[in-house]
Amino acid sequence: MDTNDLFFRKLPPVSSIAERRQALAIILEQLDFERIIKPLDKVAIKTHFGDVNNTTHISPALVKMVVEKIESCQGLPFLTETSTLYSGPRNNAVTHLQHAYSHGFTYEQVGAPIIMADGLLGNSEIEVAIPGILYKKVKIARDAILADSLVLLSHPTGHLATGIGAALKNLGMGLSSRKGKLQQHSSIKPYINNSKCTFCEQCLKWCPEQAIIPREGVAFIISEKCSGCGECLAVCKFNAVKYNWGVQSEDIQQRIAEYALGAVIGKREKCVFINVLADMTRQCDCMNIKQKPVIGDIGILGGYDPVALDQATLDLTRRNTGKDLGAMSFPELDPNVQLSHAEKIGLGKRKYKLTEL
- The stretch among 8-16, 27-35, 221-229, 287-295 that binds ligand SF4 (CB under 6 A) is 221-229
Minimum gap (Å) between residue 125 Cβ and ligand SF4: 20
Question: Per CB under 6 A, does 286 bind ligand SF4?
Answer: no
352: Cα separation from own chain's centroid: 21
Q: Could you tell me which residues come within 8 angstroms of residue 72 by beta carbon, excluding any fewer than 6 positions away?
A: 33
Which residue number, 231 or 310, has a Cβ lying nearer to ligand SF4?
Answer: 231
Question: Per CB under 6 A, does 272 bind ligand SF4?
Answer: no
Nearest 5°: phi and psi at 165? Answer: -125, 115
Single-letter amino acid, residue 108: E
Minimum gap (Å) between residue 185 Cβ and ligand SF4: 8
Question: Per CB under 6 A, does 207 bind ligand SF4?
Answer: yes
Minimum gap (Å) between residue 86 Cβ and ligand SF4: 7
Q: Could you tell me which residues come within 8 angstroms of residue 230 by beta carbon, excluding any fewer than 6 positions away?
A: 85, 86, 160, 161, 185, 188, 190
**303: helix, strand or coil:** strand
Question: Per CB under 6 A, does 88 bind ligand SF4?
Answer: no
DSSP letter at 217 equals: T
Question: Per CB under 6 A, does 173 bind ligand SF4?
Answer: no
DSSP letter at 31 equals: S
**Alpha-carbon span 282 to 344, nearest angstrom:** 28
- Going by C-alpha positions, the residue among 102, 105, 84 that lies closest to residue 93 is 84
Which residue number, 133 or 247, has a Cβ lying nearer to ligand SF4?
Answer: 247
**199: helix, strand or coil:** coil
Number of residues that bind ligand SF4 (CB under 6 A): 28
Binding ligand SF4 (rule: CB under 6 A), the pick from 58, 130, 241, 264 is 241
Which residue number, 11 or 226, has a Cβ lying nearer to ligand SF4?
Answer: 226
Question: Per CB under 6 A, does 212 bind ligand SF4?
Answer: yes
Which residue number, 100 or 226, has a Cβ lying nearer to ligand SF4?
Answer: 226
Question: Per CB under 6 A, does 221 bind ligand SF4?
Answer: yes
The dihedral sign for the CA sequence 192, 280, 44, 93? positive
Which residue number, 101 or 199, has a Cβ lying nearer to ligand SF4?
Answer: 199
Question: Per CB under 6 A, does 209 bind ligand SF4?
Answer: yes
Question: Per CB under 6 A, does 231 bind ligand SF4?
Answer: yes
Which residue number, 39 or 217, has a Cβ lying nearer to ligand SF4?
Answer: 217
The per-type count for the chain, helices as H runs and strands as E runs, is 14, 16
**Cβ count within 10 A of residue 82:** 28
Q: Which helix (H) or strand (E) holds 108?
A: helix 107-110
Binding site for ligand SF4 (CB under 6 A): 190, 192, 197-203, 207-209, 211-212, 219, 221, 226-232, 235-236, 238, 240-241
